[in-house]
Structure 1
Amino acid sequence: MKRIVVLLSLVLLIGVLSACGSKDKETGKALSEEKIVVGVTAGPHELVVNKVKELAAKEGLEIDVKVFTEYILPNTALSEGDLDINSFQTLPFLEKVNSDRDLNLVHVAKTILLPMGIYSDKFDSIDDIPDGASFGMPNDPSNGARALIVLEAAGVITLRDEDKTTGTVQDIVENPKNLKFVELEASQLPKQLIELDFAAINTNFILAAGKNPVEDSIFLESKSSPYVNYIVVREENKDDAVVKKFAELYQSDEVKEFIKEEFNGTILSSWE
């Protein structure tokens, strides 16, 4: 009998603790001002946030940087509370993920612009692309649409005059070279470039492959691109002091100079 009472007590205690945990999550507990966990994708975002980490340490803020090699997990991890902040994505991508996965993440400050480029191991100019060529592009909706916008800017295709940031291959109205579109995981495009005629590749992945966007691309996205990256948090934490502190450190003169020296113009700071 005593054993049953003890077991019932434990069940009740677990229930109370679970309820308290749920309540904390619902009420939006403020983030610690002493230590935060920040998610980034490998490459430029990782390097820049590590510079922010260095500056933060001097001001008593510890930053634990978690590195991801794809684009969805940093948002689900943030939503589920495994991260406090992430820094890796454009606004169109964030809006699409929020919609598709019913997340409530918000952007709080601009970070860097990584121009998407078109690359080829077979052709030296966009004008040399032959009829029937295979074009590799990211298979996620946001970066896929971006790749098509870049391809249109290069004069290869024409898209519908609607919201091009949500465009797909079905929105191509003119394809005079009869291109074949191959949609792949964005991180795999540099490895598959040898099998493709040309491809649109994100800067972080092309840098990881040892190529220089300025020197090796056959067409590079304009610096006036709307695809700026942002610092992102859960909606309930957008006004937290530590979030504002992180954004201030990121947009500091020290970080701007680091970006300029580290990337030699291939990646740009996007704030004033």
Structure 2
Amino acid sequence: MNKKQENVHSFLIQRRFFLIAASSFAASAFFSSCSSSQSESSANTSTNTAASTVAASQKKEVLKVGVWAVISEDILKFIQDNLTANESLNIQIVKFNDWIQPNTALKDGQIDANFFQHTPFMQNAAKQLNLNLVMLNLGFLTPIGIYSKRYKSLAEVPQKATIAVYNDKSNGDRSLRLLAAQGLIKFKDSLGEFAGVKDIKDNPKNAQLKELEGPAIVRSLDDVDLAVLSASLRLQAGLQLQPLVQESVAQKRYAVGLVTLQSKENDPRIQKLNKLINDPKVRDFINQKYQGAVLPVF
């Protein structure tokens, strides 16, 4: 190979290496650009998704609602899961262990509304706590009934039977009125707002009335002849016992409704829930789930 041929051969080799290097650089730059573009796209997608999630959560208006019994909780959960999508409402259920706290929490501003009480109970609580409470839409009735683990009918109940009744004013009144309706007691001719044991004029069976708190009535069932008990307490305790007699749905005076402070009555969030409580789908849910143990009143 002469000198000229060597120069040509050297030039061709250098040119080949240059093209390979240039191609490698171009490929590297291309893939780097694609990777960067994909990363930016992914980052933008994540950012947009996060922003959408935040925006969606910000649109949901939180409403804190106090409950006591599992029935109220079940109904509110059904509403939240099935009916709030178009209302932009986020119902936060706050559970309490007694009948006093849901109203004191309302007074203290811990909750916006509660869903556990009937009108007579609310009126009595308002007086005791010096509150301006308002009853909005009624939702359901948990009928009180007369229960017994010893007898299958009221006709079997003996003289001097022991009967457990509620000890608070409103439910005590309700208990005694049910006993009176069945002829187990008779009242004086004139009654005040709430009937009490002191208002009994006649007691044909000389029954001994035990005034107890609701949960204590459940525990007393093994020790008494009869117990006046609400369906909510029975369901809460998991009792399979059926009542000998119970209230009818006509007793709307004792239906559970949505309660709030008078100053919050027109709060848009509360009005949204107030409307949903009387939705036909809620009626169907109550009928299907409780099979007559709990009665819709709308």
> What TM-score, normalized by structure 1, do the two folds share?
0.83
- Is 1:248 aligned with 2:237? no
Greater Rg over alpha carbons, structure: 2
Task: Could you tell me which runs of 5 or more consecutive residues in structure 1 were left unpaired when the two chains were aligned.
Answer: 1-31
Question: Shift in Å at residue 254 of structure 1?
Answer: 1.3
Q: Write 1 or 2 for the structure with the bigger share of helix.
A: 2
Indicate the residue corresponding to 2:243 in structure 1. 217
Check whether the contact 2:69–2:116 (CA below 8 A) recurs between aligned residues: no
SS at match of 1:130: coil
Check whether the contact 1:145–1:164 (CA below 8 A) recurs between aligned residues: no
Check whether the contact 2:214–2:229 (CA below 8 A) recurs between aligned residues: yes
1:34 is aligned, of 57, 61, 71, to 61
| RMSD of aligned residue pairs (Cα, Å) | 1.7
One-letter amino acid of the structure 2 residue matched with residue 120 of structure 1? S
Relative to structure 1, the CA distance from residue 33 to residue 167 in structure 2 (aligned partners, 3 Å threshold; closer, same or farther) is farther
Relative to structure 1, the CA distance from residue 81 to residue 222 in structure 2 (aligned partners, 3 Å threshold; closer, same or farther) is same
- Is 1:109 aligned with 2:160? no
Most deviating of 187-196 and 143-152: 187-196
SS at match of 2:91: strand
Relative to structure 1, the CA distance from residue 263 to residue 165 in structure 2 (aligned partners, 3 Å threshold; closer, same or farther) is farther
Instruction: Flag as ranges the 4+ runs of structure 1 deviating above 6 A.
Output: none
Q: Counterparts of 2:142 and 2:224 in 1: how far apart (Å)?
A: 22
Question: Shift in Å at residue 94 of structure 1?
Answer: 0.6
Question: Shift in Å at residue 209 of structure 1?
Answer: 2.6
- Is 1:76 aligned with 2:107? no
Indicate the residue corresponding to 1:119 in structure 2. 147
SS at match of 1:97: helix
Q: Counterparts of 2:243 and 2:279 in 1: how far apart (Å)?
A: 30
Q: Counterparts of 2:133 and 2:82 in 1: how far apart (Å)?
A: 26
Task: Could you tell me which runs of 5 or more consecutive residues in structure 2 were left unpaired when the two chains were aligned.
Answer: 1-58
Q: Please list the CA deviations of residues 40-81 of structure 1 after superposition, one character each: whole Å capped at 9, or x if unmatched.
A: 112211111111221354232111101223211111111111
Identity of aligned residues (%): 32
Relative to structure 1, the CA distance from residue 204 to residue 164 in structure 2 (aligned partners, 3 Å threshold; closer, same or farther) is farther
SS at match of 1:78: helix
Indicate the residue corresponding to 2:187 in structure 1. 159
Indicate the residue corresponding to 2:28 in structure 1. none
Indicate the residue corresponding to 1:58 in structure 2. 85
